[in-house]
Chains A and B, each alone.
With several copies, the nearest count.
Chain A
Amino acid sequence: MTDVQDKVVTTEKPSVVATLFRFQSVFGLIAVFVAAIIFSPRKNGEILFVSADNLANVVRAVSEIGIIAVGMTFVILIGGIDLSVGAVLGLAAVGSAVLMVENDWGFLPSVVLVLAIGLVFGALQGVATAMIGIQSFIVTLAGLQIARGLARIWSGGQGVAIAYGDGPKEAPTSFALLGERTFGGLVPIPVIIFAVVAIAAVVFLRVSAFSRHLYAVGGNEKAARLSGVPVVRVKIAVFAICGLLASLAGIVHAVQLNQGSPNDGIGYELDAIAAVVIGGTSLAGGRGSVAGTVAGALLLGVLNNILALNNIDSNIQLLIKGLVIVAAAALQRLRPTS
């Protein structure tokens, strides 16, 4: 994918404009947010969109895509792509349900095993990409099918319902907590998980040596290798992280929906990629940020919410969403570059 790239920026004095543009995905978010307030339906003088529980809903609704998109950001930063995340989410949702309900495992071992499965699955895809050198698009396209097939087989093809309790065929009540709301019943736990993941990722990318390697691999793989960056290890680690986070999202998904179904997460990969790209990360690799991705995910969430609150016809919604995605991506192109 060699679509035009912004190669070299002259940075003698970082102008106000340049600084603004650094945060433009946030501006896109603010623009959509303001538009949402303006177009929000009102009931009894109250602007429905900004009501506390609606906002909580918005963030809860994007928390899974958000968690996945953080992992996707890593993968895209090294110039790869991961189409398997939605299927891995489904696999993890099924895994959580089957282990806790059908196999009567405890909370911790189940969660650990499910996360480990995501990690290993991602790492294997990393191996195929980094060591055999198959393009990640293809590896993860195959990974998607494999994960989906495994989920179907593991679940017996049916959604596995999760009931809570201490009896047999019941999941531990500690697991249910993950789906609850806290801080006065306002902030859903999934939102907190998303926030923790996002903040951890931002900090990690800022301070770790690993992150330098990651950006270098995405920026110029050959140069990175010759500079002594452990390219293969970085790639495997990144795909493993992405698989791990998709798994985490799957656990969150299962607990929110009280079941694990092998059809969970179909198409989530495209939403996650859209969030990453709207957030200003280049599909060519080497530049981008998790903060942008979070803004991108929230933008999509607000957009979905305001369209739904206004009961826009679902077909028209498809058109509007397509146009907004293009507009948001076009905004990225407005950067002051050569």
Chain B
Amino acid sequence: MAESFDLVRMVGIGKRYGGVQACHEVDFVLGAGEVHALLGENGAGKSTLMKILSGDVTEYAGSIAINGTPVRFSGPTDAQAAGIAMIHQELDLVPGLSVADNIFLGRELRTTVRTVDRRRMEREARELLDRSGVSLDPRRPVGELRVGEQQLVTIAKAISLDARVLIMDEPTSALTSSEVERLFDVIRELRNSGVGIVYISHRMEEIAKVADRATVLRNGKIVTSFDPRKLSTAEVVEAMVGRPVQTMFTTPDSDTGDELLRVENLKLKARRPRPGRRDPDGISLTVRSGEIVGLAGLLGAGRTELLETLYGVAPGGTRTGRILLQGKPIQPRGPRQALAQGIGFVPEDRRASGLVLFHSILANTVVSSLPSYGRLGVIARRMERAASTRMADRLRLKFGRLQDEVGTLSGGNQQKVVFGRMLLTEPKLLLLDEPTRGVDVGAKAEIYRLLGELAAQGLGVLLASSELPELVGVCDRVVVLRDGRDVASFSTADSGEGELLAAAMGQGAVFDEVGGV
């Protein structure tokens, strides 16, 4: 490892948002050739601190020095000029522009006559993407890409900046393990060439793998700094949360009941196929009441599309095969019908598809269950508040007042609001798509605990996740999808992450067309 000197030195950084102290007296040092993990619960101030460093947030207290020179950026462009690049947590890409245009946005490559050199941009974009391990056509519009693919584009974009300091704010939240491995290779390469990297993630297992040093933030203050390779995950988690977290994953006993959902050879042929979409192409599986069934697969395996099809929000087309709910065949037509039948759905992207960020916590929690709080279309405010308060207590939601805008909550707490909304509809079957993306370990543990509780009460859960430890830890059974087909089914009691991954990648997997138990 290269000799460390203070590539970045942040001293006494403070930032307030109204009544929230996002950062307080934070000192942070990053050396060249160092991978520095930044840890902390949702809302701890990690992103804020890094937005200050990358010139996104320009009003703050304290001082920053790069290589010993004090700097004060007036915008992201300044920071980029000083060699600082950031991969933002929320994927900030322009949907209408191509991958190549997005990568070079703001610093387009020019020809000798100052026009945009499209061909060179495309070539260089392809090289960058290859380097981060995806083969994407650089001419495709970003709006058509999957969340995970978009994340890879943002990574390629950040790498292309040839920065001395690279900030990665949850770069892997939508990636599966094979893409994560490729990313780590890139990170190691960059580290060896002397780049300083800040790595933010809620996936504890990744920290020990890539980070040289880790700093933990809690409530905007630094609590500790350590060498992650010397601490166990449990100790790291305790440092973050401030108390020991006993069981990360619930180990539900397979005390399952009757068959709740049965999917038989489900196929969807979209009327207007969209490139990159992987509609179900022969999926069979079952979920019993009280059972949590996982959906595993690589990026683009078709997990999201399966859940969307079951909830009735997939694009129009011809559906073949059978879907039975409690033994009766159903034709999913849309959210209203699904909710009426007792099927709830928590979408993958809570900001885009889950919440009205500028509406209150209250309004967001009750929107799916409004008719139950009054009659004749008039809402009884007391009932509504009571229901919302009940749900907030049950989920241990961290919030100020129910009238606060949901957008001011931390990511994990926002996720709980979407979750709680579905619970208020009292579903029999919950379809969860990456429900813990970007959620901190403490909140994850609570969500798992809650899933366990609900399952014990007879709820069935179909849980799509890219995090193998989560699938293995939380589910009773995991169905592996590949290319829109179910290719394997494991009981978590006797299989591990390795086998899941192998099946997902199609290496020596057991071919089990029937799926079911």
A and B touch in the complex (CB under 8 A): yes
> Which positions in A face B, CB cutoff 8 Å?
4-13, 207-213, 215-216, 218-220, 222-230, 286-287, 336-338
- A99 vs B265: C-alpha distance when bound (angstroms): 61
Contacts of B56 in A (CB 8 A): 226
Sorted nearest first, the 9 A-B pairs with minimum C-beta distance are A10-B18, A12-B19, A219-B356, A228-B106, A223-B92, A207-B115, A336-B272, A228-B77, A227-B106
Interface residues of B in 46-104 (CB under 8 A from A): 56, 75-77, 80, 86, 88, 92-98, 101
User: Which of B139-147, B178-186, B294-302 is near enough to bind chain A?
Assistant: B139-147
Secondary structure at the A interface, as helix, strand, loop or mixed, is loop
Contacts A220-B95, A220-B357, A227-B368; is A9 near B336 (CB within 8 Å)? no
User: Chain B's nearest CB lies how many Å from the CB of A331?
Assistant: 15
Size bracket, chain B contacts: 35 or more
Q: Is B448 an interface residue (CB 8 A)?
A: no
A209 and B140 form a contact (CB under 8 A): no
- 16 CB contacts below 8 A, A to B, read A8-B357, A9-B358, A11-B400, A11-B401, A11-B403, A216-B105, A216-B359, A219-B97, A222-B352, A225-B313, A226-B86, A226-B345, A226-B353, A227-B368, A227-B421, A286-B95
Shortest distance from the beta carbon of B147 to any chain A beta carbon, whole Å: 14
User: Contact: B335 with A228, CB < 8 Å?
Assistant: yes
**Residue in B76, B107, B339, B356 whose beta carbon sits within 8 Å of that of A216 in the complex:** B356
Task: Find residues 361-389 in chain B having any chain A CB closer than 8 Å to their own CB.
Answer: 363, 366-368, 370-371, 373-374, 377-379
Q: With A12-B137, A216-B105, A216-B359 known to touch, is A223 a contact of B116 (CB < 8 Å)?
A: no
The closest CB in chain B to the CB of A10 belongs to: B18
Interface-located stretch among B30-38, B123-131, B273-281 = B273-281
**Is there contact, CB below 8 Å, between B80 and A207?**
no
Beyond A226-B92, A227-B368, whether A11 also contacts B105 by CB under 8 A is no
Contacts of A229 in B (CB 8 A): 105-106, 367-368
User: How distant is the Cα of A222 from the Cα of B335 in the complex, in angstroms?
Assistant: 11
Contact B92 A8 (CB under 8 A): no
**Additional 14 contacts, C-beta under 8 A, given A5-B96, A227-B105:** A8-B101, A9-B139, A12-B19, A207-B379, A208-B116, A212-B105, A212-B108, A212-B116, A213-B367, A216-B356, A223-B93, A223-B356, A228-B367, A229-B367
Assess whether A225 is in contact with B358, with CB atoms less than 8 Å apart: no
Does B330 reach chain A (CB closer than 8 Å)? Answer: no
Contacting pair B94 A10 (CB below 8 A)? no
State A224–B366 Cα separation when bound (angstroms).
11
Complex CA distance for A21 and B250, rounded to whole angstroms: 48
Contact flags (1/0) for B322-354 with A, using CB distance below 8 Å?
000000000000111011000001010000111
Q: Are B19 and A10 in contact (CB under 8 A)?
A: yes
Task: Name the residue on A nearest B404 (C-beta).
Answer: A11
Residues of chain A contacted by B347 (CB below 8 angstroms): 226
- Residues of B near A207 (CB, < 8 A) are 115-116, 378-379
Tell me the minimal C-beta distance from A195 to chain B in angstroms.
21
B20 CB–A CB distance under 8 Å: yes
Q: Which residues of B contact A (CB under 8 A)?
A: 17-20, 56, 75-77, 80, 86, 88, 92-98, 101, 105-108, 110, 115-116, 137, 139-141, 143-144, 272-276, 311, 313, 315, 334-336, 338-339, 345, 347, 352-359, 363, 366-368, 370-371, 373-374, 377-379, 400-401, 403-405, 407-408, 421, 425
Instruction: Name the B residues within 8 Å of A7 (CB-CB).
Output: 96-97, 141, 357-358, 407
Question: Are the C-beta atoms of A10 and B354 separated by less than 8 Å?
Answer: no
User: A219, B359: Cβ atoms under 8 Å?
Assistant: yes
B262 to A: closest C-beta gap in Å: 24
Q: Are A11 and B356 in contact (CB under 8 A)?
A: no
Complex Cα distance, B80 from A53, in Å, reads: 57
When chains A and B are docked, how far (Å) is the Cα of A195 from the Cα of B21? 45
Do B335 and A219 touch across chains, with their CB atoms under 8 A apart?
no
B124 vs chain A, min Cβ distance (A): 15
Report Cα–Cα, A208/B93, bound state, in Å: 19
From residue B282, how far is it (CB to closest CB) to chain A in Å? Answer: 22
Of all chain A residues, the one with the shortest Cβ separation from B422 is: A227
B408, A228: Cβ atoms under 8 Å? no
- B353 with A222: CB separation less than 8 A: yes
Give Cα A229–Cα B106 distance, bound, in whole angstroms: 5
Which residues of the other chain, B, contact A211 by a CB distance below 8 angstroms?
Answer: 116
**Alpha-carbon distance between A239 and B107 when the two chains are bound, in angstroms:** 23
Q: How many angstroms between the C-alpha atoms of A336 and B110 in the bound complex?
A: 33
From B105, B140, B374, B378, contact of A8 by CB (8 A):
B140
Q: Which residues of A contact B137 (CB under 8 A)?
A: 11-12
Please give, as numbers and ranges, the residues of chain B lying within 8 Å of A223 by CB-CB distance. 92-94, 105, 352-356
Closest CB in chain B relative to A8 CB, distance in Å:
4
Q: Known: A10-B17, A12-B18, A223-B353. Contact between A212 and B335, CB under 8 A? A: no
**Least distance between A130 CB and chain B CB atoms (Å):** 14
With both chains docked as a complex, state the minimum distance between the C-beta of A103 and any C-beta of chain B, in angstroms.
36
Q: Which residue of B lies closest to A282 (CB)?
A: B96
When the two chains form their complex, are residues A215 and B353 in contact, meaning their CB atoms are under 8 A apart? no
Q: Known contacts A208-B379, A220-B94, A228-B106; decide if A8 and B408 are in contact (CB<8 Å).
A: yes
The answer to whether B110 and A209 have CB atoms under 8 Å apart is yes
- A212-B108, A225-B335 known; A4-B377 Cβ under 8 A: no
Residues of A within 8 A of B19 (CB): 10-13
Given contacts A4-B143, A216-B105, contact A209 B359 (CB under 8 A): no
